[in-house]
């Protein structure tokens, strides 16, 4: 998320004009009052959008000889569209040769509208050898933008091989499809007579019809990576020239046979002496890649792009009159990795996390994050998962019909630049390991750095002996409710009680392994009077066990315990009990 920009206004103002905004963008605006002590709390943000503007000029343009009466014009889209692109307009006119006169002055230009999804146009009906000028503009709802530079070209009979596509860097989201165009022009151009005819011959099982063409041919080659060899794959298909009456040539059917060395390597033979072949840069056999293939138009298609598809690709074309090449640098981008994951706050049962929502670098197309996965676990536990949808931002506020994400809960903006989410239902006083993964429609980011956080709370302090245990001559009475936690302690889930005579070295006798603190008093019976006992109590909490040992002496046989008072019998008659003296401890 972009950082907030501040705009100061006077204390008596109730409105402000914010300038230097980009057209066709969504903005959030919030207000805070400032005193000498600092800025106060911000208001809730409001969301608004700037209107469309005319687009920038298309980034580049080419004019290539397509035929003796045709020129192929191609271009790149504008770097900044500034609205919804509606169309392109291709202008053409005769080139003026008058001295001391600007190019094209007084010459009428012929505009042709082209759909916004198309980046080429064939201008036909031209005179061979006549020089023409071409330029292109883009239009949005706000109007027509500036034009590209003017390029000139003359239709020729001997048209050199040229590629209408442009060399450029290309980014693709992980698991998305990518096409690298290689549209060619020149003598024997166009897929109808070259690539499609070759495809039909490869599928036919009989002699194809006679095709007239020249002895020279044009080839289109792509260099692509080979996963198993980490080298480049060279795919080259050749086709005879057509459209010019040179020497008639008979094409025989294409024979396709399997190579014995590789079950997925094909070798094709095309008489006379021209072939469709696949080979690796190192000259060895190459296994067929089902995700990477050259279309009949010469376009290289990469399906469900993987990280290993990131490489440099080149498309080459040549004929008798010239050669050309374009180069692509392909980068495969997963969703942006959550950055700067940190702990914002904790309670005894929750941890609030914050992380930065990073924007991709300029010019990089990264997939939109549909949800975040918060993975967390205790020190010795297994991993748990919580799915969190992104919070509604400015773009979500102004968009219509956006379906809600499938996540169970949504993150929130913290301080305007951070995303935050509270993990609840956690154990008290427990250490957690946490990391976050951004998930797109297809593809996942790398995990964030793992952070460590502990919920609040500690093991409770053991109660005093007088509060927990009361002795009698042959028993001990335990009060588990005395293990009530303090304000900073974790609740006790259960108590384990063990005992033995203090002078004994034998094993502990288990009185209870699951004594609940909410239960009433518990009594240990059948003890020896006037004997010291060791009592070991383990209080189990989320923060860990708390162990306490008590040394307790049972009362003499002549004493009984009733509440807090001990009574001794001093005189016993044969027929009746006569208590002559009562001692109170």
CA 297 to chain centroid? 33
For residue 391, the model assigns a pLDDT of 79
Give the burial string for 10-37 (b: 16+ CB within 10 Å, else e): eeeeeeeeeeeeebbeebbeeeeeeeee
For residue 54, the model assigns a pLDDT of 96
Mean pLDDT per 10-residue section of the chain, whose length is 585 residues: 78 89 89 88 87 96 94 96 96 73 65 96 94 97 96 93 92 84 75 33 29 32 30 34 28 28 27 27 45 85 86 86 90 83 91 82 69 91 90 46 46 75 92 91 83 92 90 91 85 92 89 87 90 93 92 83 43 42 42
For residue 190, the model assigns a pLDDT of 42
For residue 390, the model assigns a pLDDT of 84
CB neighbours of 2 closer than 8 A, spacing ≥ 6?
A: 359
- Interatomic CA distance for residues 378 and 382, integer angstroms: 7
For residue 276, the model assigns a pLDDT of 26
> Is 465-568 in the same CATH topology as 61-156?
yes
Homologous superfamily of 465-568 in CATH? Answer: Immunoglobulins (2.60.40.10)
**Do residues 454 and 429 lie in contact, with contact meaning Cβ atoms separated by under 8 Å?**
yes
Token readout for 572 is 């016993």
Strands 312-319 and 217-226: antiparallel
For residue 393, the model assigns a pLDDT of 56
For residue 397, the model assigns a pLDDT of 35
For residue 433, the model assigns a pLDDT of 95
Q: State which fold the 163-333 domain adopts.
A: Immunoglobulin-like (2.60.40)
DSSP category for residue 228: T
Can the peptide bond before residue 272 be classed as cis, meaning omega within 30 degrees of 0?
Answer: yes
**Do residues 281 and 223 lie in contact, with contact meaning Cβ atoms separated by under 8 Å?**
yes
3-class SS string, 55-82: CCCECCEEEEEEECCEEEEEECCECCCC
For residue 308, the model assigns a pLDDT of 83
For residue 559, the model assigns a pLDDT of 64
For residue 430, the model assigns a pLDDT of 92
For residue 366, the model assigns a pLDDT of 66
Q: State which fold the 339-454 domain adopts.
A: Immunoglobulin-like (2.60.40)
For residue 188, the model assigns a pLDDT of 64
Q: Which of 282, 153, 159 is nearest to 218 (CA)?
A: 159
Q: Which CATH number fits domain 61-156: 2.60.40.10, 3.40.109.10, 3.50.50.60, 3.40.50.970?
A: 2.60.40.10
Counting beta carbons within 10 angstroms of the beta carbon of residue 116, is it exposed (0 to 12), middle (13 to 18) or buried (19 or more)? Answer: middle
Spell out the domain ranges in the chain: 61-156, 163-333, 339-454, 465-568
Identify any residues that bridge with 581 across adjacent strands, giving them in sequence order: none
Degrees, nearest 5: CA angle 258-261-266: 30
Q: Which of 223, 216, 445, 496 is nearest to 338 (CA)?
A: 445
């Amino acid at each position: 998320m972009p950082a907030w920009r501040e705009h100061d206004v006077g204390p008596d103002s109730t409105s402000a004009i914010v300038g230097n905004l980009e057209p066709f963008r969504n903005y959030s605006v919030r207000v805070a009052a400032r005193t000498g002590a600092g800025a106060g709390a911000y208001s809730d943000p409001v969301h608004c959008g700037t209107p469309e503007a005319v687009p920038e000029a298309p980034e580049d343009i080419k004019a290539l000889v397509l035929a003796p009466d045709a020129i192929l014009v191609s271009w790149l889209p504008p770097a900044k569209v500034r609205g919804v692109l509606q169309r392109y307009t291709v202008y053409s006119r005769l080139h003026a040769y008058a001295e001391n006169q600007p190019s094209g002055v007084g010459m009428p230009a012929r505009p042709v509208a082209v759909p916004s999804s198309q980046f080429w146009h064939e201008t036909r009906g031209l005179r061979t050898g006549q020089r023409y000028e071409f330029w292109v503009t883009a239009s949005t709802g706000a109007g027509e933008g500036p034009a590209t530079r003017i390029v000139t070209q003359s239709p020729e009979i001997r048209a050199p091989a040229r590629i209408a596509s442009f060399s450029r860097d290309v980014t693709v989201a992980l698991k998305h499809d990518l096409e690298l165009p290689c549209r060619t022009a020149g003598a024997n151009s166009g897929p109808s007579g070259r690539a499609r005819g070759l495809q039909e011959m490869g599928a036919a099982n009989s002699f194809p019809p006679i095709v007239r063409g020249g002895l020279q041919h044009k080839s289109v080659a792509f260099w692509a990576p080979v996963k198993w060899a980490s080298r480049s794959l060279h795919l080259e298909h050749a086709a005879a020239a057509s459209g010019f009456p040179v020497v008639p040539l008979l094409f025989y059917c294409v024979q396709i046979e399997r190579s014995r060395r590789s079950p997925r390597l094909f070798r094709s033979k095309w008489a006379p002496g021209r072939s469709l072949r696949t080979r690796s840069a190192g000259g060895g056999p190459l296994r067929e890649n089902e995700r990477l293939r050259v279309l009949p138009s010469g376009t290289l298609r990469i399906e469900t792009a993987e990280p290993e598809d990131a490489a440099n690709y080149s498309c080459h074309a040549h004929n008798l009159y010239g050669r050309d090449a374009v180069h692509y640098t392909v980068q495969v981008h997963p969703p942006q990795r959550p950055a700067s994951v940190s702990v914002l706050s904790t309670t005894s049962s929750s941890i609030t996390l914050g992380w930065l929502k990073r924007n991709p670098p300029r010019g990089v197309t990264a997939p939109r994050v549909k949800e975040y996965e918060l993975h967390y676990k205790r020190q010795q536990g297994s991993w748990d998962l919580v799915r969190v949808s992104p919070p509604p931002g400015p773009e979500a506020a102004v968009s219509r019909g956006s379906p809600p994400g499938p996540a169970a809960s949504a993150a929130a903006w913290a301080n305007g630049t951070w995303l935050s989410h509270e993990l609840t239902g956690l154990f008290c006083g427990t250490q957690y390991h946490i990391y976050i993964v951004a998930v797109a429609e297809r593809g996942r980011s790398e995990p964030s750095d793992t952070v460590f956080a502990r919920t609040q709370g500690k093991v409770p302090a053991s109660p005093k002996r007088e509060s927990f245990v009361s002795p009698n001559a042959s028993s001990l009475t335990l009060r588990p409710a005395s293990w009530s936690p303090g304000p900073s302690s974790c609740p006790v889930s259960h108590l384990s009680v063990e005992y033995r005579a203090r002078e004994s070295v034998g094993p502990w006798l288990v009185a209870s392994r699951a004594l609940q603190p909410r239960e009433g008093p518990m009594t240990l019976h059948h003890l020896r009077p006037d004997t010291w006992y060791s009592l070991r109590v383990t209080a189990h909490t989320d923060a860990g066990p708390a162990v306490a040992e008590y040394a307790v002496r049972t009362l003499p046989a002549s004493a009984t315990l009733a509440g807090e008072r001990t009574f001794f019998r001093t005189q016993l008659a044969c027929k009746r009990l006569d208590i002559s003296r009562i001692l109170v401890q």
